[in-house]
């Protein structure tokens, strides 16, 4: 496997170095392409079927941007992958006691009270799960700490589809990111807020979380 950007521990880490006392910070300074290839690498390391391929070949080189842009995502594979934008928002809003998804209007007040790492209370990344409680899905840092990549190209929402895996427009120039971060450049923490970035970009306030089909 080859990675153009090996990443670092949080916003203040050392790129491509072995883990330190900051090993519990989110991984940052990786492009969307790096994350796609990392998901395949981690899948194989754990004995799972890689999700992302091009023309039947597993993607193992993040410099192959053309192939990754056109990659096939096997949602039936048991390997690791990025969540789709729909999956990310569902996880952020999930409430097992309510058939409708939560609007999560509390997220901004949570940031003000220190329950989400945002520009209001942080100037860099912090260890995962150190701000507030988990949400109703048992997930931490869905709002704040680092902005998180999704699989989808950024575009207008398409008409609703039933019983079909939704992953947005087929092609585009930027990929979706969600969740906000500690940075004043990405301050919006509500679960419905959307960001978009060129998949070649990488910053200390951008990271990712992974999903797995069962």
169-198 confidence digits (pLDDT tens): 989 999 999 999 999 999 888 888 999 999
- Is it the case that residue 90 has pLDDT exceeding 80? yes
Task: Report pLDDT for 132.
Answer: 82
- Is it the case that residue 19 has pLDDT exceeding 90? no
- Is it the case that residue 22 has pLDDT exceeding 90? no
Task: Report pLDDT for 38.
Answer: 98
**Per-residue tokens: 18:** 């072995």
- Provide mean pLDDT across the span 34-54: 98
Q: How far is CA 199 from the centre of its chain?
A: 12
Where does residue 167 rank: exposed (0-12), middle (13-18), buried (19+ CB within 10 A)?
A: buried
> Degrees (nearest 5) of the Cα angle 82, 39, 206?
60
Cα separations (Å) of 58 from 37, 61, 65?
9, 9, 14
Mean per-residue pLDDT over the chain, rounded: 89
**Residue-wise DSSP of 150-201:** EEEEP-PPPPP-SSS-----S--SSEEEES--SSTTS---STT--EEE-TT-
- Provide mean pLDDT across the span 86-115: 65
Residue for token pair 């940052």: 28
Q: Which helix (H) or strand (E) holds 27?
A: strand 27-28
Q: Considering only residues 60 and 19, tell me which one the structure prediction assigns the higher pLDDT.
A: 60
Task: Report pLDDT for 98.
Answer: 60
Q: What is the pLDDT of residues 126-148, one digit of tens each?
A: 999 998 888 888 899 998 999 99
Q: Residue 47 — pLDDT band, cuts 50, 70, 90?
A: very high
Q: Considering only residues 15 and 53, tell me which one the structure prediction assigns the higher pLDDT.
A: 53
- Is it the case that residue 113 has pLDDT exceeding 80? no
Q: Residue 56 — pLDDT band, cuts 50, 70, 90?
A: very high
Q: Which helix (H) or strand (E) holds 203?
A: none
Contact (Cβ atoms closer than 8 angstroms) between residue 135 and residue 92 = yes
């Amino acid at each position: 496997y080859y990675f153009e950007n090996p990443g670092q521990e949080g916003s203040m880490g050392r790129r491509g170095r072995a883990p330190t006392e900051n090993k519990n910070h989110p991984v940052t300074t990786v492009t969307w392409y790096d994350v796609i290839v990392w998901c395949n690498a981690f899948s194989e390391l754990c004995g799972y079927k890689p999700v992302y391929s091009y023309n039947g070949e597993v993607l193992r080189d993040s410099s192959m941007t053309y192939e990754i842009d056109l990659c096939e995502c096997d949602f039936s594979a048991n390997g690791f992958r990025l969540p789709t934008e729909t999956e990310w928002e569902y996880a952020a809003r999930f409430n097992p006691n309510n058939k409708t998804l939560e609007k999560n209007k509390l997220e901004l007040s949570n940031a003000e009270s220190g329950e989400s790492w945002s520009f209001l209370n942080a100037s860099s990344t912090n260890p995962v799960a150190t701000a507030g409680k988990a949400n109703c899905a048992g997930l931490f840092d869905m709002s704040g700490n680092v902005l998180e990549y999704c699989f989808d190209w950024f575009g207008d929402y398409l008409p609703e589809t039933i019983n079909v895996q939704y992953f947005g427009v087929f092609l585009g120039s930027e990929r979706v990111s969600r969740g906000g971060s500690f940075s004043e450049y990405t301050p919006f923490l509500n679960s419905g807020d959307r960001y978009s970035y060129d998949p070649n970009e990488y910053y200390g306030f951008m990271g990712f979380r992974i999903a797995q089909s069962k």
